[in-house]
């Protein structure tokens, strides 16, 4: 158990709909990352937040948005869903220490199926 909690674990929704994925980072971790992994594909970095502020943005579609709240949990909002958005969405967290290399810890993922 990495300590990163993601909900829901599974979600089935129709095209055009909107869903919200939730992530609670490890206790004490200030940074949250979101990744998308389609079937047999690599991990696509979407976005990173640090202590409530957006820190880095990757290949995140305009239909997707995210935020990190004051209690450090994060939500990834996916709207106008398309069949191609079906994937496993991972959240990861890290503390971002000042001296060591960055180590991130992943949750178990949220399976999204768009039908």
| Positions in the binding site for another protein (CB under 8 A) | 2, 4, 33, 35, 42-43, 45, 48, 55-56, 58, 88, 90, 92, 94, 96-98, 100-109, 111
Shortest distance, position 31 Cβ to another protein, whole Å: 9
Q: Which residue, 67 or 95, has its beta carbon nearer to another protein?
A: 95
- What is the 3-class SS of the chain, one letter each residue? CCCCEEECCEEEECCCCCEEEEEECCCCCCEEEEEEECCCCCCEEEEEEECCEEEEECCCCCCEEEEECCCCCEEEEECCCCHHHCEEEEEEEECCCCCCCCCCEECCCEEEEEC
CA angle 84, 78, 61 (to 5 degrees): 65
Q: Which is nearer to another protein, 79 or 111 (CB)?
A: 111
Q: Cβ of residue 80: shortest distance to another protein, in angstroms?
A: 25
Using only C-alpha atoms, what is the Rg of the chain? 14
Compare residues 9 and 18 and give the one whose CB is closer to another protein: 9
Q: Which is nearer to another protein, 79 or 95 (CB)?
A: 95
Closest CB 103 distance from another protein, rounded Å:
5
Least distance between another protein and beta carbon 6 (Å): 9
């Amino acid at each position: 158990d990495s300590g990163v909690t993601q909900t829901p674990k599974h979600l089935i929704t129709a095209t055009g709909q909107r869903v919200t994925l939730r992530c609670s980072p490890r206790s004490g971790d200030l940074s949250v990352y979101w990744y998308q992994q389609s079937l047999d594909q690599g991990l696509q970095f979407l976005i990173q937040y640090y202590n409530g502020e957006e820190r880095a943005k990757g290949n995140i579609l305009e239909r997707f948005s995210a935020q990190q709240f004051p209690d450090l949990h994060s939500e990834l909002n996916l709207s106008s869903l398309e069949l191609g958005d079906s994937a496993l969405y991972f959240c990861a967290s890290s503390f971002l220490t000042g001296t060591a290399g960055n180590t991130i810890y992943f949750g178990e993922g949220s399976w999204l199926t768009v039908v």
